[in-house]
Structure 1
């Protein structure tokens, strides 16, 4: 655990050096937040009633919490692991005392933390200053909401980690990463709330791990899900995160047996 904590701190410090990138991300998030907020509020107003449990304040909270978490939850993925597989440097990771998956998830938690502070919080503050956002109904919802965010970060990492590991068997994974990014972005509730989907598409989305990566924490932090429903939401998130982590371990072990490094 001490090593894990050190790696989390190292990931936090590593990504804290990219301050201009954080500023650019905040600006982009805020601009797109304004556009999305205008469109979704207009949809609720035209309906004249709630849509899928979202009134105007809740849909605004959905938009701005989604924008705030966009930098923390790695929906766009990463390619560091696939690059190390192609170069053979992954062999060095296998020689280290900590399991490679745990080492990388620790670094990703640090990255998520600094992104949430320097990129997410300012975006959310801008949204709160410009709009009337719904808030969690109590302290327990706030606390469990941020627990949900941590689980979402782990689930998103675990899924992308598996995609990266496919580099053990294919020469280039960029196309697969692109498909994963588009699919996850659509089915996680990034563009529209999943309760707004047609029934068949909503059912399909709920049978995937993607809602655990964004829709679930946003629902808790926007107050749409509260009371005992929070616990069932967290249970579903934990289950999907565990499935993806276990699957990642299996793929990692198969890749380790497949790995062949030549040269010196």
Structure 2
């Protein structure tokens, strides 16, 4: 089964910052999608903030198994109606991966229900990512730790709910540590947050980072049919009082499963 991935990119820095454009001439979103497409089991495409409905129409989300989100300076420009559409898709079973500064995006805050704040410093420091869950599928094929020579620092406290599992913890040359790979379940959808990815550094060209995102896509994918109405709370009236448990056995034995309700 081919996993259908949509990479959502803010696509602002690439157009305004020459350094970013030099590192990602096709945009970060297309760099990420291109790396994923090297896997025969994945078909990845991209959409951006500038597309109609930010590229995330109901039809697009219906055909997306896993959505990847990168945003930074234009969180406020994302339409609230699209945010709700994305949240409902996750609740119904679509996988979701948030990268780097997407911790402050509207969809991440909507799904987490918390401020999602943190401390930060942009100083091009070395980041060392340690595996804290070696047997987790997102950690497959990775060493016990790997380094990024230059990255933006994120520091604790990180204002998110307690995760299902912490897959990575980062240490920075300035001394801070940060929970860098967190998994969540929201409705029927699997959600992963992965910290690295500041726009002025070639992070998404790194082989280990690409491996994490690839593994995360496969982990987040839910092959089951989407829930049709994940936000509906139907009233189910009792048609008849339940009979005492001691009376059920003889009736089941006499009538069989089909004759008893």
TM-score above 0.5:
no
Task: Give the TM-score of the pair, scaled to structure 2.
Answer: 0.26
Greater fraction of residues in strand: 2
Higher relative contact order (CA 8 A, sep 6+): 1
Task: Give the TM-score of the pair, scaled to structure 1.
Answer: 0.26
